[in-house]
Amino acid sequence: MEASQASLAVPGVKQVVSDYVTLTKPKVQLLLLLTTITTMYVAGDPSVGLVAITVVGGFLSAGGAGAFNHFYDRDIDAAMPRTASRPVPSGRISPRAALIYAFALQIASFAILWSAANLLSACLALAGFFWYTVVYTVWLKRRSPQNIVIGGAAGAVPPLVGWAAVTGGVAPAALYLFAIVFYWTPPHFWALSLLMKDEYARVGVPMMPVVHGEAETRRQIVLYTLLLTVLTLLPFVFGFFGVIYAVFAVGLAGAFITLSLRLQRRADRKSALRTYLFSLGYLAVLFVAMVLDAQL
Ligand code: HEM
Ligand SMILES: CC(C)=CCC/C(C)=C/CC/C(C)=C/COP(=O)(O)OP(=O)(O)O
């Protein structure tokens, strides 16, 4: 009896490991790291070892940032059904442990990137960590509907980390890749926020549909998708990428614009979900297309 009570109270090793992995937002990491890896092959001809080290460093930094977000947002996460069962609000991991873990991961990231890649890539990852934790999570998320636009810059840092790891610098082309993720983030998140509006409203987080309404959010999604389209075509116009990239960029942009216009016209949840899901594939395919273009 006592033993079974103890096993109820103390989470098993599997649960603990799974919770600490959850703190790093692993699914989001897959796409963040895809942009890092593909950028590395656009920037040059990195060794497999350097790519592996950069992936580990990037994972630790973004994972630390995710853990900090779980720590800081535990009050609002506890009040939203989507997030209530996360490790910290559900009590399986203490806030203190999550905070220590967050900084430990970022310190490990800095040490690994600095020693095995270079100081610039380590500093850029640290800047991404700072932007996502302090600027987005602490400062803007609960204050302004522009939280995604400004705070979203953190998620655009991984290509800079990858570029710096390979070349030791940040060329204008790397800033293009940064800008692409930067302009992609608002349509990605705002489409999803249309589905989560009531939850955000309940906890007082001023996301776009809560503050400016759903119609304005759908309009902004179309606007940013158009800006993103122009931006993604510029590298072709300036000769940085060739025809392979252009074919993918035009095809992807056509589909993204079609979906965002349909979302505006139909104003239903299904279209919002489709636009959000497409945004994930859009970014992945666009970055892979860059590698194909650069290598073929
Ligand atoms: C401020 C910027 C961003 C915000 C607020 C945001 C927000 C979200 C939210 C709320 C979800 C729903 C799933 C969840 O609850 O975790 C999500 C999913 C996702 N996001 Fe973002 N996102 C941002 C930027 C990015 C960036 C830069 C990337 C990668 C380049 C990314 C990749 C993903 C992926 C892959 C998913 C799907 C994860 C899953 O299926 O659980 N996001 N995002
Ligand atoms: C280089 C570096 C360190 C980059 C870090 C970038 C990073 C971790 C981006 C994650 C984006 C994301 C999932 C935001 C959701 O936060 P949210 O708090 O709005 O969503 P939630 O309500 O699901 O917690």
pLDDT band at 8 (very low <50, low <70, confident <90, very high): low
Q: How many residues does the chain have?
A: 296
pLDDT at 6: 47
pLDDT band at 235 (very low <50, low <70, confident <90, very high): confident
Neighbours of 44 (CB within 10 A): 12
Token reading at 145: 């509907």
Encode pLDDT of 206-226 as tens digits: 999 999 999 999 999 999 999
The dihedral over CA atoms of 274, 280, 283, 288, expressed in degrees to the nearest 10, equals -120
Separation in Å, CA 172 to CA 162, 175, 177, 231, 235: 14, 5, 9, 13, 11
Residue 238, CB half-sphere, CA atoms under 13 Å: how many? 10
Which stretches of 10-72 are DSSP H helices?
13-23, 26-43, 48-72
pLDDT at 9: 63
155 close to ligand 1 (CB < 6 Angstrom): yes
Does the pLDDT value for residue 71 go beyond 50?
A: yes
Separation in Å, CA 35 to CA 8, 102, 286, 288: 41, 22, 9, 8
Q: To test ligand 2's pocket by mutation, which of 132, 190, 276 has the most ligand atoms within 8 angstroms of CB?
A: 132
Q: Is 72 exposed, middle or buried (0-12, 13-18, 19+ CB in 10 A)?
A: buried
Question: Comparing C-alpha atoms, which of 180, 163, 173, 64 is closest to residue 111?
Answer: 64
* Spatial separation of the C-alpha atoms in residues 143 and 204, rounded to whole Å: 9
Could you give the percent of the chain with pLDDT greater than 70?
97
pLDDT band at 296 (very low <50, low <70, confident <90, very high): confident
Does the pLDDT value for residue 3 go beyond 70?
A: no
35 close to ligand 1 (CB < 6 Angstrom): yes
Encode pLDDT of 243-265 as tens digits: 999 999 999 999 999 999 999 99
142 close to ligand 2 (CB < 6 Angstrom): no
Ligand nearest to the CA of 161: 2
Encode pLDDT of 106-164 as tens digits: 999 999 999 999 999 999 999 999 999 999 999 999 999 999 999 999 999 999 999 99
Token reading at 265: 């016209």
pLDDT band at 67 (very low <50, low <70, confident <90, very high): very high
Which residue's entry shows tokens 């016209």?
A: 265
Token reading at 13: 């090793």
Does the pLDDT value for residue 1 go beyond 70?
A: no
Ligand 2: distance of its center to the CA of 184 in Å?
14
ipTM over 0.90: yes
Query: What's the mean per-residue pLDDT of the chain?
Result: 95
Name the pTM for this structure: 0.94
pLDDT at 2: 44
* Spatial separation of the C-alpha atoms in residues 57 and 122, rounded to whole Å: 8
Encode pLDDT of 180-198 as tens digits: 999 999 999 999 999 999 9
Neighbours of 13 (CB within 10 A): 8
Contacts of 194 (CB under 8 A, 6+ apart): 209, 214, 217, 218, 263, 269, 272
